Amino acid sequence: MCLYPKLLVVNPNSTVGMTLEIQENVARYFKLKKKQDILSNIIFYTGPSESPKQISGNETSLQSLNACLPELTNPKGKHYFNNFNGILIACFSDHPLVNALANQANRENSNTIVVGLLNTSISFCSLFQTKTFSVLTSNNEWMNILNESVEGKYLTNISRTLWKGTVPTNLDVLDLHNQNNYEAIVRIIKLKNLEELKSNFIILGCAGFSSIYPKLEQTFKNDSTVHFIEPVTLGIENLLYLYAGTL
Decide yes or no: CATH 3.40.50 for domain 7-117+233-246. Answer: yes
- Average the pLDDT over 122-135 and give the result: 96
- Average the pLDDT over 33-38 and give the result: 94
- Average the pLDDT over 129-146 and give the result: 94
- Average the pLDDT over 107-114 and give the result: 97
User: Do the two domains 7-117+233-246 and 119-230 of this chain adopt the same fold?
Assistant: yes
- Average the pLDDT over 34-43 and give the result: 96
Please give the C-alpha separations between residue 83 and each of 22, 62, 172, 233, in angstroms, as whole numbers. Answer: 21, 24, 33, 21
Q: Does position 94 have pLDDT exceeding 60, yes or no?
A: yes
**Weakest-pLDDT range from 78-87, 162-171, 208-217, 234-243:** 208-217
Q: Does position 177 have pLDDT exceeding 90, yes or no?
A: no
Residue 34 Rama label (left phi>0; alpha psi -120 to 50; beta):
left
Q: How far apart are CA 47 and CA 67, in angstroms?
A: 7
Q: Name the helix (H) or strand (E) containing 168.
A: strand 163-168
State residue 2's pLDDT score.
57
pLDDT, mean over the chain: 95
The structural domains of the chain, with segments of one domain joined by +, span 7-117+233-246, 119-230
Percent of the chain with pLDDT over 70: 99
State residue 53's pLDDT score.
95
Q: How far apart are CA 152 and CA 3, in angstroms?
A: 38
Q: Does position 28 have pLDDT exceeding 60, yes or no?
A: yes
Q: Does position 138 have pLDDT exceeding 80, yes or no?
A: yes
Q: Does position 211 have pLDDT exceeding 60, yes or no?
A: yes
State residue 167's pLDDT score.
98
- Average the pLDDT over 104-130 and give the result: 96
Fold for the domain defined by 119-230: Rossmann fold (3.40.50)
Most distant pair of Cα atoms in the chain: their distance:
52
